[in-house]
A and B are shown apart, each in its own frame.
Chain A
Amino acid sequence: MKFLLDDTRRRALRIILVALLAVFGGLSVSAPALGDSVGEEYSATVFGNVKIDGEPIAGVRIVVDGGGYTAETVTDSDGRWSIGVPEVRNYNVTLDESTLPEGISVLEGGATQEVEFGLTDRVAKNFFIGEGERNETSIFDQIVSRFIYGINFGLMLGLAAVGVSLVFGTTGLSNFSHGEMVTFGAVAALIFGVGLQLPLFIAIPIAVALSAGLGWSLDAGLWRPLRKKGLGIVQLMIVSIGLSLTMRYIIQFVIGGGTEQLPGFDSPKINLFGAVALSSTDLMSMGLSIVVIIAFAYWLLRTKTGKATRAISDNPDLAAASGIDVDKVIRIVWIMAASLAGLAGVLWAYFRPGIKWDMGTQILLLIFAAVTLGGLGTAFGALIGALIVGVLVEMSGLIIPADLKYVGALVVLIVVLLVRPQGLLGRKQRVG
């Protein structure tokens, strides 16, 4: 009677460990275990890395218990450990201080600490160890670091959201299959970057190019014929839901139900200032998003096609009457939306981290929240909306439990629809 795959309930952003000195010791689910692993038969994993001043400490005993389950392991020569757990729930992780070298102890939070799964089924737990000196993370540093994470997340979300907004603006379609276009980009990067072992700077452009191809073929093979057939927007919306289901399960068919990782997802964190630590992939992801968004803005504001796109969003009939080839522009919009979504998918794979068949569906509603907040059909509104949603999701983690982070954004979505349905940048019009 289990008629739905229950993986979708394990959704979330990774938990941000502010007091993180050690690097992420990451394991891919499919790859052979790097650390000393126990409980590998379970899909959920608590893992970590015991290091002091960058030097791994081997042979430290780690115990995970909770929900009637207890397991223990010792760190390997790289200081890594990993314990599989049967359920996604809170666990107590204990670092046996007597197995640490002389004079070294856990400095913060005590030897037993609680870990909480976010929306993924992997969670990192690293202990802050050292000799005596204490390094408290102030609330201010936490706010700053969450804010920066939120900007990073928001930029990624923005890349996906402008596509939804452009498609809505030009065709009136609320595209529920956009989440799968996000997943598609990540899966393409996985196939070329991990499967074919191409370097990332080649694999990611290929993934974006393939996404563009997906956008082209979806418009050519599905959306354009349906426009010609004269389907109403509600019908189109339900078609997009059917497409979303189809693509989602085809992706599961191809890559299976597990989580895969792109190369470099566990790149070390660099301490920037205060307690703000970002990895090089975080920094590159933000840089890349900003460059692409600026290029996109130039395209939309300055080029002929960009202007035509805005004209069609404004008034399709008038645009057609003034000689704009509406179908051609919509084709370009689909290609644009799909390639931006594909790039967002690659970045989302690093942010989560991990590639999973339903990763796009997990952020679909956040994308809709961003688009609605900014104003349906306005590309720049979607960007602003995405940044606000991103920061809100990350910052709300300071107050509400990590697994309710998305609720804040969804409440904002509903509230915006109530008080200002045209969004921040949209024009006031009747939506009732």
Chain B
Amino acid sequence: MDWGSILNNTLAGFLTPTTIAFALAALGLAMHFGFAGLLNFGIAGFMAIGGYGYAISVLTFGLPWWAGMLVGVLGSVVFALILGIPTLRLRGDYLAIATIAAAEIARLLFLTTAFTDVTGSADGLFGFNSRPDGSGFQNSNPIPQGTYGFGPFTYNEQTLWVLVFGLIVLTVAVWFLWALMRSPWGRVIKGIREDEEAVRSLGKNVFAYKLQALVIGGVFGALGGIIYTAAQNISPGVYVTSLTFFIWTSLLLGGAATIFGPVIGAVIFWVIQAFLSNLLPALSTSGILPVSTTQASTLRFVLVGIGLMLLVIYRPQGIFGDKRELTFVK
């Protein structure tokens, strides 16, 4: 077994566009679930709308990349409003089912052959990051061509540009969430999570606060989808319900009601994923694990499931969470 390459690939999981995308989406879920207590199982839908909003605006409407990304964000705001206005009055588990259904509707609409001209249906879309007319995201890349970094953290100028951009967005998002949560607005939101009736009796418009939380978290989710899309093609097969569950796993790993928890959770999730996806097939080829390599790579998703169960049962507050600020109220 080549431990060197396994270690190398594992370390590379620390910083990839996917890790940043997961961190942003998990941050959105922290806003929804960790702070506001909203059970959103449709984060994949927000990501899909962000990513597709960006890709379609660039390809179909010829907008420059930054305007396309704005459209993606606006799309998620609209989605949050459409989803939230009717459903936020529902009890937690009803909201979970409504959001998961809404995310599936979004995915099926991107998948259907009825809108192939715009969405590319099952094939997805490509060629929106670099545009022949110079309006693409990679056309604005200020980094000269070349290879940067060292060891496992070696990137070409394109990936590096996505990483730099993604890290800036992530930093702003983390700062914004931190600032929000120490503001009076954040205290009301946490109050709603703890006892909705108590906050209502103080004269606060609980519904409006929840809707604002849904929109803000949804924007984070959309930004995650945009960063993910800025690094590669977009395809509807990514935005399945499993994606939502993996992001939930990242969130709960770090701690739902924390600022840095979701980010660290996403990093841990992807480092473990990178480790297992290199280790398990290697164990299988070297005959230590008596299964085929395909089976070996399936095993890591089994481990994700088991990990999620153990986490929720034994450490629901996550690694960095405070047990007193437990988000599983009822």
Contact B113 A239 (CB under 8 A): no
A431 to B98 alpha-carbon distance, docked (Å): 13
B273's closest neighbor in chain A, by CB? A3
Beta-carbon contacts of B268-307 to A below 8 Å, as 1s and 0s?
A: 0000010000000000000000010011001101101111
Q: Does B222 contact A (CB under 8 A)?
A: no
Q: Does B157 contact A (CB under 8 A)?
A: no
Contact B298 A249 (CB under 8 A): yes
Q: Does A111 contact B (CB under 8 A)?
A: no
Q: Does A303 contact B (CB under 8 A)?
A: no
- Interfacial chain A residues near B100, Cβ < 8 Å: 365
A247 to B109 alpha-carbon distance, docked (Å): 28
Contact B93 A237 (CB under 8 A): yes
Q: A404-B109, A407-B108 are in contact. Are A242 and B308 (CB under 8 A)?
A: yes
A247's closest neighbor in chain B, by CB? B305
Q: Does B182 contact A (CB under 8 A)?
A: no
Contact A417 B98 (CB under 8 A): yes
Q: A3-B18, A414-B86 are in contact. Are A242 and B309 (CB under 8 A)?
A: yes
Q: A404-B109, A421-B90 are in contact. Are A234 and B97 (CB under 8 A)?
A: no
Contact A253 B252 (CB under 8 A): no
Kindly provide the distance from the CB of B175 to the nearest chain A CB, expressed in whole angstroms. 27
Contact B16 A1 (CB under 8 A): yes
A224-274 at interface with B (beta carbon < 8 Å): 226, 229, 231-235, 237-239, 241-250, 252-253, 256-257
Contact B237 A369 (CB under 8 A): no
A137 to B96 alpha-carbon distance, docked (Å): 43
- Interfacial chain A residues near B309, Cβ < 8 Å: 239, 242-243, 246
Kindly provide the distance from the CB of A397 to the nearest chain B CB, expressed in whole angstroms. 12
Selected interface stretch from A30-38, A82-90, A187-195, A338-346: A82-90
Contact B94 A231 (CB under 8 A): no
Q: Does B143 contact A (CB under 8 A)?
A: no
Q: Which of A87, A231, A404 contacts B123 (CB 8 A)?
A: A87
Selected interface stretch from A4-12, A52-60, A307-315, A320-328: A4-12
Q: A1-B232, A418-B86, A418-B87 are in contact. Are A242 and B312 (CB under 8 A)?
A: yes
Kindly provide the distance from the CB of A203 to the nearest chain B CB, expressed in whole angstroms. 25
Contact A241 B302 (CB under 8 A): no
Selected interface stretch from B125-133, B241-249, B257-265: B241-249
Q: Which of B16, B105, B113 contacts A89 (CB 8 A)?
A: B113
A403 to B328 alpha-carbon distance, docked (Å): 37
Q: A89-B121, A174-B97, A235-B316 are in contact. Are A246 and B113 (CB under 8 A)?
A: no
- Interfacial chain B residues near A109, Cβ < 8 Å: none
Contact B104 A365 (CB under 8 A): yes
Q: Does A410 contact B (CB under 8 A)?
A: yes
Contact B330 A232 (CB under 8 A): yes
A10 to B112 alpha-carbon distance, docked (Å): 11
Beta-carbon contacts of A367-394 to B below 8 Å, as 1s and 0s?
A: 0110010000000000000000000000
Q: Does A401 contact B (CB under 8 A)?
A: yes
What is the predominant secondary structure among interface residues of chain A facing chain B? helix
Contact B96 A237 (CB under 8 A): yes
Q: A1-B16, A1-B231, A3-B273 are in contact. Are A245 and B114 (CB under 8 A)?
A: no
Q: Does B15 contact A (CB under 8 A)?
A: no
Contact B328 A89 (CB under 8 A): no
A239 to B248 alpha-carbon distance, docked (Å): 11
- Interfacial chain B residues near A245, Cβ < 8 Å: 242, 245, 301-302, 304-305, 308
Kindly provide the distance from the CB of A17 to the nearest chain B CB, expressed in whole angstroms. 18
- Interfacial chain B residues near A368, Cβ < 8 Å: 97, 101
A238 to B307 alpha-carbon distance, docked (Å): 11
Q: Does B102 contact A (CB under 8 A)?
A: yes
Q: Does B202 contact A (CB under 8 A)?
A: no
Contact A249 B301 (CB under 8 A): yes
Contact B114 A401 (CB under 8 A): yes
Contact B122 A4 (CB under 8 A): no
Contact B329 A232 (CB under 8 A): yes
B residues bordering A, Cβ < 8 Å?
Answer: 16-18, 39, 86-87, 89-94, 96-98, 100-102, 104-105, 108-109, 111-114, 116, 121-123, 231-232, 235-238, 240-243, 245-246, 248-249, 252, 273, 291, 294-295, 298-299, 301-302, 304-313, 316, 328-330
Given A4-B242, A231-B328, 8 extra CB contacts under 8 A: A4-B237, A4-B240, A6-B238, A238-B252, A242-B308, A242-B311, A252-B298, A414-B102
- Interchain Cβ contacts under 8 Å between A and B, 27 examples: A1-B18, A1-B231, A3-B18, A6-B237, A9-B111, A89-B121, A89-B122, A89-B123, A90-B113, A234-B39, A238-B248, A239-B313, A244-B305, A245-B301, A245-B305, A248-B305, A249-B301, A250-B302, A252-B301, A400-B114, A403-B112, A404-B112, A404-B114, A406-B108, A410-B105, A413-B98, A417-B90
The 5 closest A-B pairs by CB, nearest first: A246-B305, A245-B305, A6-B237, A242-B308, A242-B309
